[in-house]
Amino acid sequence: MSGSTHGTLFRVTTFGESHGVGLGVTIDGCPAGLKLDVEAIQQEMARRRPGQSRIVTQRKEADGVEILSGTFEGKTTGTPIGIVIYNQDQRSKDYGHIFDKYRPSHADYTFTAKYGHRDYRGGGRSSARETAARVAAGAVARQLLAHYGISIHSYVDQVGSIATGKDHHELDLGLIDTNDVRCPDPTTAATMEQEIMAVKKAGDTIGGVVKCVVRGVPAGWGEPVFDKLHADLGKAVLSINACKGFEYGSGFDGVTLRGSAHNDAFYTDEAGRTRTRTNRSGGIQGGISNGEDIYFRAAFKPVATIIADQESVNESGESVTVVGKGRHDPCVLPRAVPIVDAMVALVLADHCLRARGNRL
Protein backbone atom coordinates (compact mmCIF):
# COMPACT_ATOMS: atom_id res chain seq x y z
CA MET A 1 0.00 0.00 0.00
CA SER A 2 1.30 3.42 -0.76
CA GLY A 3 -1.84 5.53 -0.41
CA SER A 4 -0.91 7.31 2.80
CA THR A 5 0.61 10.40 1.23
CA HIS A 6 -1.43 13.47 0.27
CA GLY A 7 -0.22 16.38 -1.81
CA THR A 8 2.76 17.26 -3.94
CA LEU A 9 4.27 20.41 -2.48
CA PHE A 10 2.51 20.48 0.89
CA ARG A 11 3.01 16.76 1.28
CA VAL A 12 1.44 14.93 4.19
CA THR A 13 2.13 11.29 5.09
CA THR A 14 0.24 9.53 7.87
CA PHE A 15 0.57 6.26 9.76
CA GLY A 16 -1.25 4.51 12.57
CA GLU A 17 -4.00 2.10 13.52
CA SER A 18 -6.82 2.20 16.02
CA HIS A 19 -5.14 -0.24 18.36
CA GLY A 20 -1.45 0.16 17.64
CA VAL A 21 1.02 2.11 19.76
CA GLY A 22 0.32 5.41 18.12
CA LEU A 23 -0.47 7.51 15.07
CA GLY A 24 1.51 10.17 13.36
CA VAL A 25 1.98 12.45 10.42
CA THR A 26 4.88 14.08 8.60
CA ILE A 27 4.28 17.40 6.89
CA ASP A 28 6.91 18.02 4.25
CA GLY A 29 6.86 21.32 2.43
CA CYS A 30 5.43 23.78 4.92
CA PRO A 31 7.24 27.07 4.20
CA ALA A 32 9.79 28.29 6.75
CA GLY A 33 9.05 31.13 9.11
CA LEU A 34 5.40 30.37 9.83
CA LYS A 35 4.55 31.09 13.47
CA LEU A 36 3.06 27.80 14.66
CA ASP A 37 0.31 27.93 17.29
CA VAL A 38 0.48 24.52 18.95
CA GLU A 39 -2.59 25.28 21.09
CA ALA A 40 -4.64 25.80 17.94
CA ILE A 41 -3.56 22.37 16.67
CA GLN A 42 -4.64 20.84 19.96
CA GLN A 43 -7.99 22.60 19.71
CA GLU A 44 -8.65 21.08 16.30
CA MET A 45 -7.80 17.70 17.79
CA ALA A 46 -10.38 18.35 20.51
CA ARG A 47 -13.04 18.99 17.88
CA ARG A 48 -12.41 15.53 16.41
CA ARG A 49 -11.75 13.76 19.72
CA PRO A 50 -13.99 10.89 20.85
CA GLY A 51 -15.79 11.46 24.13
CA GLN A 52 -16.22 15.18 23.58
CA SER A 53 -20.02 15.08 24.03
CA ARG A 54 -22.84 12.64 24.68
CA ILE A 55 -23.66 12.29 20.97
CA VAL A 56 -20.32 10.77 19.97
CA THR A 57 -18.40 7.60 20.83
CA GLN A 58 -17.26 7.37 24.46
CA ARG A 59 -13.77 6.02 23.76
CA LYS A 60 -11.38 8.14 25.81
CA GLU A 61 -8.39 9.57 23.97
CA ALA A 62 -6.50 12.65 25.05
CA ASP A 63 -5.10 12.92 21.51
CA GLY A 64 -2.14 14.90 22.76
CA VAL A 65 -0.02 16.07 19.86
CA GLU A 66 3.77 15.87 20.19
CA ILE A 67 5.86 17.77 17.62
CA LEU A 68 9.22 16.10 17.12
CA SER A 69 10.81 18.25 14.41
CA GLY A 70 10.46 21.07 11.92
CA THR A 71 10.06 23.99 14.28
CA PHE A 72 12.58 26.18 16.08
CA GLU A 73 11.90 29.07 18.41
CA GLY A 74 8.16 28.82 17.69
CA LYS A 75 8.42 28.97 13.91
CA THR A 76 8.56 26.41 11.16
CA THR A 77 12.01 25.85 9.65
CA GLY A 78 10.94 24.53 6.24
CA THR A 79 12.06 21.02 7.18
CA PRO A 80 9.54 18.21 7.74
CA ILE A 81 7.25 18.60 10.73
CA GLY A 82 6.99 15.24 12.48
CA ILE A 83 3.99 14.74 14.77
CA VAL A 84 3.07 11.72 16.90
CA ILE A 85 -0.10 10.95 18.87
CA TYR A 86 0.05 8.00 21.21
CA ASN A 87 -3.00 5.77 21.63
CA GLN A 88 -4.24 5.37 25.19
CA ASP A 89 -7.63 3.68 25.38
CA GLN A 90 -7.12 0.79 22.97
CA ARG A 91 -9.00 -1.93 24.92
CA SER A 92 -8.09 -4.46 22.29
CA LYS A 93 -9.66 -7.29 24.26
CA ASP A 94 -13.04 -5.84 23.24
CA TYR A 95 -12.46 -7.24 19.77
CA GLY A 96 -11.70 -10.91 20.45
CA HIS A 97 -15.29 -11.86 19.58
CA ILE A 98 -15.02 -10.63 16.02
CA PHE A 99 -11.42 -11.43 15.15
CA ASP A 100 -12.21 -13.63 12.16
CA LYS A 101 -15.70 -12.29 11.38
CA TYR A 102 -16.42 -9.74 8.69
CA ARG A 103 -18.56 -6.95 10.15
CA PRO A 104 -21.14 -5.87 7.54
CA SER A 105 -20.28 -2.68 5.65
CA HIS A 106 -16.92 -2.45 7.41
CA ALA A 107 -13.59 -2.97 5.67
CA ASP A 108 -12.80 -6.27 7.41
CA TYR A 109 -13.38 -8.35 4.31
CA THR A 110 -11.73 -6.03 1.82
CA PHE A 111 -8.61 -5.56 3.96
CA THR A 112 -8.35 -9.33 4.27
CA ALA A 113 -8.80 -9.70 0.52
CA LYS A 114 -6.12 -7.10 -0.14
CA TYR A 115 -3.52 -7.86 2.51
CA GLY A 116 -4.12 -11.39 3.75
CA HIS A 117 -2.69 -10.49 7.16
CA ARG A 118 -5.00 -8.07 9.04
CA ASP A 119 -5.03 -6.28 12.39
CA TYR A 120 -8.60 -7.13 13.43
CA ARG A 121 -8.65 -4.93 16.50
CA GLY A 122 -11.23 -2.23 15.92
CA GLY A 123 -10.69 -1.91 12.22
CA GLY A 124 -6.95 -1.27 12.37
CA ARG A 125 -5.99 1.18 9.66
CA SER A 126 -9.58 1.31 8.33
CA SER A 127 -10.81 2.81 11.60
CA ALA A 128 -11.70 6.49 11.65
CA ARG A 129 -9.09 6.78 14.38
CA GLU A 130 -6.67 7.23 11.48
CA THR A 131 -8.18 10.65 10.82
CA ALA A 132 -6.60 12.05 14.00
CA ALA A 133 -3.35 12.35 12.05
CA ARG A 134 -5.16 14.13 9.21
CA VAL A 135 -6.63 16.67 11.62
CA ALA A 136 -3.22 17.41 13.13
CA ALA A 137 -1.78 18.06 9.67
CA GLY A 138 -4.84 20.01 8.61
CA ALA A 139 -4.48 22.27 11.61
CA VAL A 140 -1.00 23.23 10.41
CA ALA A 141 -2.31 23.78 6.89
CA ARG A 142 -5.08 26.03 8.23
CA GLN A 143 -2.48 28.24 9.89
CA LEU A 144 -0.62 28.55 6.60
CA LEU A 145 -3.86 29.46 4.83
CA ALA A 146 -4.85 31.91 7.57
CA HIS A 147 -1.57 33.69 6.84
CA TYR A 148 -3.05 34.40 3.40
CA GLY A 149 -6.51 35.34 4.68
CA ILE A 150 -8.20 32.07 3.83
CA SER A 151 -10.74 30.49 6.19
CA ILE A 152 -12.63 27.18 6.03
CA HIS A 153 -16.08 26.69 7.50
CA SER A 154 -17.54 23.18 7.51
CA TYR A 155 -20.78 22.43 9.31
CA VAL A 156 -23.54 19.86 9.60
CA ASP A 157 -26.25 20.71 7.10
CA GLN A 158 -28.36 17.57 7.45
CA VAL A 159 -28.77 14.62 9.86
CA GLY A 160 -30.95 11.85 8.50
CA SER A 161 -33.93 13.74 7.06
CA ILE A 162 -33.48 16.81 9.23
CA ALA A 163 -31.86 19.61 7.20
CA THR A 164 -31.25 23.31 7.73
CA GLY A 165 -32.92 23.94 4.38
CA LYS A 166 -30.91 27.12 4.19
CA ASP A 167 -28.26 28.50 1.92
CA HIS A 168 -24.97 29.22 3.69
CA HIS A 169 -25.53 32.95 3.17
CA GLU A 170 -28.52 32.72 5.47
CA LEU A 171 -26.53 31.25 8.35
CA ASP A 172 -24.09 32.74 10.84
CA LEU A 173 -21.07 30.50 10.42
CA GLY A 174 -19.70 31.84 13.70
CA LEU A 175 -22.26 29.61 15.45
CA ILE A 176 -20.88 26.30 14.17
CA ASP A 177 -19.13 25.33 17.38
CA THR A 178 -21.81 26.62 19.72
CA ASN A 179 -23.58 23.27 19.83
CA ASP A 180 -22.53 19.61 19.94
CA VAL A 181 -23.87 18.88 16.46
CA ARG A 182 -21.85 21.66 14.80
CA CYS A 183 -24.85 23.02 12.93
CA PRO A 184 -24.89 26.84 12.78
CA ASP A 185 -28.72 26.88 12.79
CA PRO A 186 -29.48 26.54 16.53
CA THR A 187 -33.10 25.40 16.16
CA THR A 188 -32.27 22.75 13.61
CA ALA A 189 -29.27 21.75 15.69
CA ALA A 190 -31.49 21.00 18.64
CA THR A 191 -33.76 18.80 16.53
CA MET A 192 -30.72 17.02 15.07
CA GLU A 193 -29.38 16.35 18.55
CA GLN A 194 -32.71 14.81 19.61
CA GLU A 195 -32.66 12.63 16.52
CA ILE A 196 -29.12 11.45 17.24
CA MET A 197 -30.02 10.63 20.85
CA ALA A 198 -33.05 8.66 19.68
CA VAL A 199 -30.94 6.73 17.20
CA LYS A 200 -28.34 6.07 19.89
CA LYS A 201 -31.00 4.77 22.27
CA ALA A 202 -32.18 2.41 19.52
CA GLY A 203 -28.63 1.07 19.18
CA ASP A 204 -28.65 2.31 15.62
CA THR A 205 -26.85 4.95 13.55
CA ILE A 206 -27.77 7.69 11.10
CA GLY A 207 -26.07 9.55 8.22
CA GLY A 208 -26.09 13.14 7.07
CA VAL A 209 -24.52 15.90 5.02
CA VAL A 210 -21.62 18.23 5.79
CA LYS A 211 -21.49 21.51 3.93
CA CYS A 212 -18.28 23.48 3.60
CA VAL A 213 -17.66 27.12 2.67
CA VAL A 214 -14.18 28.45 1.95
CA ARG A 215 -13.51 32.17 1.95
CA GLY A 216 -10.55 34.12 0.68
CA VAL A 217 -9.11 31.86 -2.01
CA PRO A 218 -7.83 34.17 -4.76
CA ALA A 219 -8.65 33.60 -8.43
CA GLY A 220 -6.20 31.30 -10.20
CA TRP A 221 -5.74 28.18 -8.06
CA GLY A 222 -6.27 24.77 -9.66
CA GLU A 223 -4.36 22.61 -12.15
CA PRO A 224 -6.38 21.47 -15.18
CA VAL A 225 -6.97 19.08 -16.68
CA PHE A 226 -6.71 16.28 -14.12
CA ASP A 227 -5.95 18.23 -10.95
CA LYS A 228 -8.79 20.69 -11.14
CA LEU A 229 -9.40 22.33 -7.79
CA HIS A 230 -12.83 20.78 -7.25
CA ALA A 231 -11.55 17.36 -8.35
CA ASP A 232 -8.80 17.52 -5.73
CA LEU A 233 -11.32 18.66 -3.12
CA GLY A 234 -13.68 15.88 -4.13
CA LYS A 235 -11.05 13.20 -3.82
CA ALA A 236 -9.82 14.49 -0.47
CA VAL A 237 -13.32 14.61 1.01
CA LEU A 238 -14.38 11.27 -0.49
CA SER A 239 -11.32 9.71 1.18
CA ILE A 240 -12.85 10.40 4.60
CA ASN A 241 -14.41 7.34 6.23
CA ALA A 242 -18.15 6.93 5.44
CA CYS A 243 -18.22 9.63 2.75
CA LYS A 244 -20.41 8.54 -0.18
CA GLY A 245 -20.85 11.66 -2.28
CA PHE A 246 -19.53 15.09 -3.15
CA GLU A 247 -21.11 17.97 -5.05
CA TYR A 248 -19.97 21.56 -5.46
CA GLY A 249 -21.77 24.69 -6.55
CA SER A 250 -25.16 23.81 -8.00
CA GLY A 251 -24.29 20.10 -7.75
CA PHE A 252 -26.89 17.45 -8.50
CA ASP A 253 -29.74 19.96 -8.31
CA GLY A 254 -28.17 22.01 -11.08
CA VAL A 255 -28.72 19.31 -13.69
CA THR A 256 -32.36 20.23 -14.09
CA LEU A 257 -31.61 23.86 -14.92
CA ARG A 258 -31.16 25.25 -18.40
CA GLY A 259 -27.90 27.00 -19.23
CA SER A 260 -29.62 30.37 -19.41
CA ALA A 261 -30.76 29.94 -15.81
CA HIS A 262 -27.53 28.38 -14.58
CA ASN A 263 -24.82 30.69 -15.92
CA ASP A 264 -23.22 33.21 -13.55
CA ALA A 265 -23.05 36.67 -15.11
CA PHE A 266 -19.82 38.62 -14.64
CA TYR A 267 -19.61 42.20 -13.41
CA THR A 268 -16.92 44.49 -12.02
CA ASP A 269 -17.37 45.41 -8.37
CA GLU A 270 -16.59 48.74 -6.72
CA ALA A 271 -13.07 47.59 -5.93
CA GLY A 272 -12.52 46.85 -9.63
CA ARG A 273 -12.51 43.12 -9.07
CA THR A 274 -14.13 40.72 -11.54
CA ARG A 275 -17.07 39.10 -9.78
CA THR A 276 -20.08 36.92 -10.59
CA ARG A 277 -23.64 38.01 -9.71
CA THR A 278 -24.66 34.49 -8.73
CA ASN A 279 -22.39 31.63 -7.67
CA ARG A 280 -23.77 28.41 -9.07
CA SER A 281 -20.20 27.70 -10.15
CA GLY A 282 -19.29 27.24 -6.48
CA GLY A 283 -16.27 29.50 -6.76
CA ILE A 284 -14.54 27.31 -9.33
CA GLN A 285 -14.71 27.60 -13.15
CA GLY A 286 -12.86 25.28 -15.48
CA GLY A 287 -11.25 23.74 -12.40
CA ILE A 288 -9.68 27.03 -11.27
CA SER A 289 -10.86 29.27 -8.41
CA ASN A 290 -12.53 32.51 -9.50
CA GLY A 291 -12.28 34.41 -6.23
CA GLU A 292 -15.88 33.79 -5.08
CA ASP A 293 -16.71 31.62 -2.07
CA ILE A 294 -15.95 27.97 -2.72
CA TYR A 295 -18.66 25.69 -1.38
CA PHE A 296 -19.58 22.03 -1.55
CA ARG A 297 -21.64 19.34 0.16
CA ALA A 298 -20.51 15.86 1.25
CA ALA A 299 -22.77 12.87 2.02
CA PHE A 300 -21.94 10.58 4.95
CA LYS A 301 -23.60 7.20 5.31
CA PRO A 302 -24.77 5.87 8.69
CA VAL A 303 -21.94 4.31 10.72
CA ALA A 304 -21.72 0.57 10.11
CA THR A 305 -21.28 -0.43 13.75
CA ILE A 306 -24.72 -1.05 15.29
CA ILE A 307 -25.94 -2.90 18.37
CA ALA A 308 -28.31 -5.31 16.63
CA ASP A 309 -27.13 -8.78 15.66
CA GLN A 310 -26.25 -9.10 11.97
CA GLU A 311 -25.83 -11.91 9.46
CA SER A 312 -22.31 -12.36 8.10
CA VAL A 313 -19.51 -14.83 7.35
CA ASN A 314 -16.08 -15.42 8.82
CA GLU A 315 -12.70 -15.85 7.14
CA SER A 316 -13.47 -19.51 6.51
CA GLY A 317 -16.67 -18.59 4.71
CA GLU A 318 -18.94 -19.96 7.42
CA SER A 319 -22.19 -18.24 8.31
CA VAL A 320 -21.89 -16.33 11.58
CA THR A 321 -23.75 -13.74 13.57
CA VAL A 322 -21.97 -10.49 14.32
CA VAL A 323 -23.12 -9.43 17.77
CA GLY A 324 -23.25 -5.69 18.38
CA LYS A 325 -20.77 -4.53 21.01
CA GLY A 326 -18.12 -1.89 21.49
CA ARG A 327 -18.24 1.88 21.59
CA HIS A 328 -19.25 3.73 18.46
CA ASP A 329 -20.69 6.94 17.10
CA PRO A 330 -24.47 7.01 16.56
CA CYS A 331 -23.81 9.73 14.00
CA VAL A 332 -20.45 10.57 12.50
CA LEU A 333 -21.40 14.04 11.36
CA PRO A 334 -20.32 16.23 14.31
CA ARG A 335 -16.86 14.66 14.29
CA ALA A 336 -16.69 14.66 10.48
CA VAL A 337 -16.77 18.46 10.46
CA PRO A 338 -13.15 19.00 11.63
CA ILE A 339 -11.98 16.20 9.33
CA VAL A 340 -13.56 17.89 6.32
CA ASP A 341 -11.96 21.15 7.46
CA ALA A 342 -8.63 19.36 7.61
CA MET A 343 -8.83 17.72 4.19
CA VAL A 344 -9.88 20.98 2.55
CA ALA A 345 -6.94 22.69 4.23
CA LEU A 346 -4.53 20.06 2.92
CA VAL A 347 -5.77 20.48 -0.65
CA LEU A 348 -5.65 24.26 -0.54
CA ALA A 349 -2.22 24.38 1.09
CA ASP A 350 -0.88 22.29 -1.76
CA HIS A 351 -2.40 24.54 -4.41
CA CYS A 352 -1.25 27.58 -2.46
CA LEU A 353 2.37 26.49 -2.78
CA ARG A 354 1.94 25.69 -6.47
CA ALA A 355 0.74 29.22 -7.08
CA ARG A 356 3.18 31.02 -4.79
CA GLY A 357 6.34 28.93 -4.53
CA ASN A 358 7.73 27.68 -1.25
CA ARG A 359 8.36 31.03 0.41
CA LEU A 360 5.93 32.75 2.77
Q: How far apart are CA 293 and CA 217, in angstroms?
A: 8
Nearer to its own copies, 186 or 357 (CB): 357
Nearer to its own copies, 93 or 258 (CB): 258
246 touches its own copies (CB under 8 A): yes
Minimum CB separation of residue 174 from its own copies in Å reads 26
Kindly write out the interface string for residues 101-130 of this chain, putting x where it contacts its own copies by CB under 8 A and - elsewhere: -x-xxxx-xxx-xxxxxxx----xxx---x
312 touches its own copies (CB under 8 A): yes
Show contacts with its own copies in window 135-164 (CB under 8 A): 158, 160-161
Binding residues for its own copies, rule CB under 8 A, total 153
**Are 276 and 283 within 8 A, CB to CB?**
no
288 touches its own copies (CB under 8 A): yes
**Are 173 and 194 within 8 A, CB to CB?**
no
Nearer to its own copies, 117 or 174 (CB): 117
**Are 248 and 285 within 8 A, CB to CB?**
no
Q: Which of 193, 149, 185 is nearest to 168 (CA)?
A: 185
Residue 203, φ and ψ in degrees, nearest 5: 70, 20
287 touches its own copies (CB under 8 A): yes
Q: How far apart are CA 330 and CA 31, in angstroms?
A: 40
Residue 91 assigned ligand-binding role: no
Residue at 255: amino acid letter: V
Residues 6+ positions from 258 with CB-CB distance below 8 Å? none
Nearer to its own copies, 155 or 300 (CB): 300
Neighbour tally for 115: CB within 10 Å: 12
SS3 8: coil
Query: Which residues on adjacent β-strands are paired with residue 22?
Result: 86
Stretch that binds its own copies, among 1-9, 38-46, 57-65, 145-153 (CB under 8 A): 1-9
Stretch that binds its own copies, among 46-54, 143-151, 179-187, 277-285 (CB under 8 A): 277-285
Per residue, the 3-state secondary structure of 302-335, as one string, reads: CCCCCCCCEEEEECCCCEEEECCCCCCCCECHHH
Nearer to its own copies, 308 or 323 (CB): 308
Minimum CB separation of residue 67 from its own copies in Å reads 7
Nearer to its own copies, 175 or 313 (CB): 313
For its own copies, the binding residue among 42, 52, 151, 263 (CB under 8 A) is 263
Kindly report whether the peptide bond that precedes residue 225 is cis, defined as omega within 30 degrees of 0. Answer: yes
70 touches its own copies (CB under 8 A): yes
Residue 273 assigned ligand-binding role: no
299 touches its own copies (CB under 8 A): yes
23 touches its own copies (CB under 8 A): yes
For its own copies, the binding residue among 15, 148, 177, 180 (CB under 8 A) is 15
Stretch that binds its own copies, among 39-47, 55-63, 173-181, 287-295 (CB under 8 A): 287-295
Question: In b/e form, how buried is each residue of 177-198, taking b as 16+ CB within 10 angstroms?
Answer: eebbbbbbbeebbeebbebbee
Residue at 33: amino acid letter: G
Show contacts with its own copies in window 196-235 (CB under 8 A): 199, 202, 204-209, 218-228, 230-232, 234-235
Stretch that binds its own copies, among 138-146, 147-155, 169-177, 242-250 (CB under 8 A): 242-250
**Are 14 and 130 within 8 A, CB to CB?**
yes
Residue at 297: amino acid letter: R
Per residue, the 3-state secondary structure of 100-143, as one string, reads: CECCCCCCHHHHHHHHCCCCCHHHHHHCHHHHHHHHHHHHHHHH
Nearer to its own copies, 78 or 178 (CB): 78
66 touches its own copies (CB under 8 A): yes
248 touches its own copies (CB under 8 A): yes
Residues 6+ positions from 268 with CB-CB distance below 8 Å? 274, 275
Residue 286 assigned ligand-binding role: yes
Which residues belong to the annotated binding site for NADP(+)? 48, 54
Which residues belong to the annotated binding site? 48, 54, 125-127, 241-242, 286, 301-305, 327
